[in-house]
């Protein structure tokens, strides 16, 4: 009965490895940005039409196109207007300093808070204590009667 067993030194992890399943490839390659920078894909065209206004607004915000020679492992489309930069499917890879991205994020968070406060103030202006519209930021706890 011991003759049917496989010797320990013939057993390897390779023979016991699980079969690898097919995984859908990523649409865009993941690129590791340089230290102190944040990476982002910027739209340069949609359905074959160049989106110049989007590109120019992102460049004015401070996003800088990354040259293809900095990441030779990434295949690029060579978009006719952005030859030499990393482009894939109508998108161009850009980087910006982390400080600028944090300031931009803070600006938009402030804008969102301001808009929410404006809506709340406008709603509360119409409020009547005899019939409140809503009673936000106040909670109560009640217990039921036991039998």
Give me the torsion for CA of 32, 33, 35, 36, rounded to 10°.
Answer: -140
* Model confidence pLDDT, tens digit, residues 17-38: 677 888 887 778 788 888 899 9
Record the pTM.
0.61
* Model confidence pLDDT, tens digit, residues 88-124: 888 889 999 999 999 999 999 999 999 988 888 877 7
Distance from C-alpha of 88 to C-alpha of 79, rounded to nearest angstrom = 8
Determine which helix (DSSP H) or strand (DSSP E) holds 117, and give its type and residue range. Answer: helix 98-125
Residue 77: closest CA among 48, 54, 104: 48
């Amino acid at each position: 009965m011991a003759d049917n067993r496989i010797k320990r030194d013939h057993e390897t992890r390779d023979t016991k490895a699980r079969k690898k399943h097919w995984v859908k490839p990523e649409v865009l390659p993941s690129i590791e940005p340089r230290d102190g920078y944040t990476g982002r894909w910027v739209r340069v065209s949609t359905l074959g039409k160049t989106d110049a206004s989007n590109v120019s607004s992102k460049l004015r915000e401070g996003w800088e196109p990354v040259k293809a020679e900095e990441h030779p492992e990434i295949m690029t489309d060579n978009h006719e207007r952005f030859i030499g930069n990393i482009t894939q499917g109508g998108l161009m890879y850009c980087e910006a300093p982390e400080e600028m991205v944090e300031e931009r994020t803070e600006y938009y968070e402030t804008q969102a808070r301001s808009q929410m406060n404006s809506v709340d103030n406008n709603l509360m202006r119409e409020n009547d204590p005899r019939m409140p519209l809503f009673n936000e930021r106040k909670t109560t706890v009640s217990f039921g009667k036991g039998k």
